Every structure is written in C-alpha cells, then in structure tokens.
Amino acid sequence: MSAVTTYGSPSGRTIHLTVAQECLLQKHDVWPKDNQGREYCKISHGLHEGKPTFSDDAALLAWCGVKNAAG
C-alpha cells in the first residue's frame, strides 16, 4: 500500500496516483486521460492509503503517450 490520490474523469472513471507519480507526470508535462480522451481532472478522494493504478512509472508514462522517457 502507498499514499495515493484518487482522480476522477468527467465520464466517471478513476485513477489512483502517488505523489511521486504526479511529480513525474508534471515533469513530462502530461496528465492521464480515460479511454474517452477526458482528463482525470477532479480529485475524488484526497491523499489516502491505497494501491496506485500503475506500479511501474514507465507504464504510466507510456499510457500517457510519453515515448522513450527515462523517469
């Protein structure tokens, strides 16, 4: 378990990100989108104990469209 924040998209989907993952996404100037292309833009549950949606930073970045990124 880690400390995660749960973000929701307008379509009702959610994603769980750690603070480190949020920083990584900001470093690469990207933010995750759901399968309808809508950003996870609303915090639906503030920082809490949970499991991040992606345990691998490279997979998270690839999902966000970042290619050949070195964390």
Q: What is the pLDDT of residues 37-52, one digit of tens each?
A: 999 999 999 999 999 9
55 pLDDT more than 80: yes
Q: 26, 14 in Cβ contact below 8 A?
A: no
For residue range 4-48, list pLDDT tens digits in order. 999 999 999 999 999 999 999 999 999 999 999 999 999 999 999
**pTM, entire model:** 0.89
71 pLDDT more than 60: no
DSSP structural state of residue 55:
S
Q: Is residue 71 assigned to a domain?
A: no
pLDDT reported for residue 67: 85
Q: Is residue 47 assigned to a domain?
A: yes
Number of domains in the chain: 1
Mean pLDDT over 55-66 rounds to: 93
Q: Residue 34 and residue 14: Cα distance in Å, rounded?
A: 8
Q: Residue 29 and residue 11: Cα distance in Å, rounded?
A: 22
Could you tell me which residues come within 8 angstroms of residue 37 by beta carbon, excluding any fewer than 6 positions away? none
Q: 31, 39 in Cβ contact below 8 A?
A: yes
User: Residue 15 is part of which domain span?
Assistant: 2-63
